Amino acid sequence: MIKKIIVLFFSLWVLTGCFANNMKNNAVNETWVEEQQLYDALIEAADKNYKNYYFIDLRSQTDYNTAFIEGFVNQSRENLQIFLEDASQWNMIILMSEDTEKTNEAVAYVEGLGFDNVKYVFISLERLFTFFESKNMIMEVTPNGDICPIENPEGC
């Protein structure tokens, strides 16, 4: 009788573990080193009105206002938890900064919040901005708060 109970509990334990593994999100955290990876994600997100995609620029507000990639929002590391509080439905979180250490710390923090589809852009900002400038996707915040394509001769 005891053997049957042990076998039953062991079977339940194995089945529960297998079921839980099948339900697990197959998303994976990763580092992106190619501009095309970010571009493809931005196009995919734009097609879905950025719903459930979070492109986060961790640079200072001043640097962000001067030039940022279309689709990114500016957030400080300190406000990430508040910003992601309502992110129960999400496809992807992409983090970038000019400081590798700062971004690594933010990725670890977001992973600690339970997110498992975090991408870290590990590309120099100069290279990244050059690539996205060729796609006309570099924006700026004007002094009156408008968001405009940078160097747009027609203005906003």
Question: Quick one: average pLDDT of 55-69?
Answer: 95
Delimit the domains of the chain by residue range: 26-149
DSSP 21-80: HHHS-----EEE--HHHHHHHHHHHHHTTTTTEEEEE-S-HHHHHH-EETT-EE--GGGH
**pLDDT tens, 26-55?**
556 788 889 999 999 999 999 999 888 999
154 — pLDDT class (breaks 50, 70, 90)? low
Nearest to 61 by CA among 34, 46, 79, 43: 79
Fold for the domain defined by 26-149: Oxidized Rhodanese; domain 1 (3.40.250)
For residue 114, pLDDT beyond 80: yes
135 — pLDDT class (breaks 50, 70, 90)? very high
- Token pair of 82 as six digits: 């508040």
For residue 68, pLDDT beyond 60: yes
pTM above 0.85, yes or no: no
Q: What Cα–Cα distance (Å) separates residue 123 from each residue in 82, 97, 149, 152, 153?
A: 27, 9, 22, 25, 29
Choose the weakest-confidence range: 40-44, 66-70, 79-83: 79-83
